[in-house]
Amino acid sequence: MSSGLVIELASFSTIPGVADAELLAASERLEREFLSGAPGYLGRALSRLDDGSWMDVALWASEEDANAVMARLPDSAAAGAYFSHMQGPGVKHLHAVRRFGLFAQL
C-alpha cells in the first residue's frame, strides 16, 4: 500500500574548502546518473541557506519509492561523490509523508 507523497529534507554543511561549484557539479551528477529515472522520483531542489549551510529537498511519489532508492545509495558512485562534500554528523535527513492538502496538484 502506497503511503503518499514524501518530502525528503536533508540539511548539511560542506566540508571546509569545498567550493559551491564543486557541490553543484556533484549534485548535477547525482541527478543525472542516479535519481532521474528512479521509480517514484518527482524532482528536487538544492538551496544554499542564509547561514551558509545547504538544504536538499526531494519529492517522491511514495515512501516505498524513497526507501528503495535510499537502499541503493551505497552502491552509487554519483551518490558517494555528492555525499563526500558533506561535513560529518551535522547532516540531518528527514522524511515527511503528505497527510494534508498541500501539493494537491502532484
Set out the domains of the chain in order of their start, with CATH numbers: 6-97 (3.30.70.100)
Q: Is the distance from CB of 75 to CB of 4 less than 8 angstroms?
A: no
The cell 567550493 sits on which residue? 19
Could you tell me which residues are beta bridge partners of residue 86? Answer: 14
Tell me: the pLDDT tens digits for 76-102? 999 999 999 998 766 666 666 655 555
Q: How far is CA 42 from the centre of its chain?
A: 11
DSSP state of 10: E
Task: Name the helix (H) or strand (E) containing 63.
Answer: helix 63-72
CB count within 10 Å of CB 72 equals 11
Tell me: the pLDDT tens digits for 32-67? 999 999 999 999 999 999 999 999 999 999 889 999
Cell numbers linked to 2: 502506497
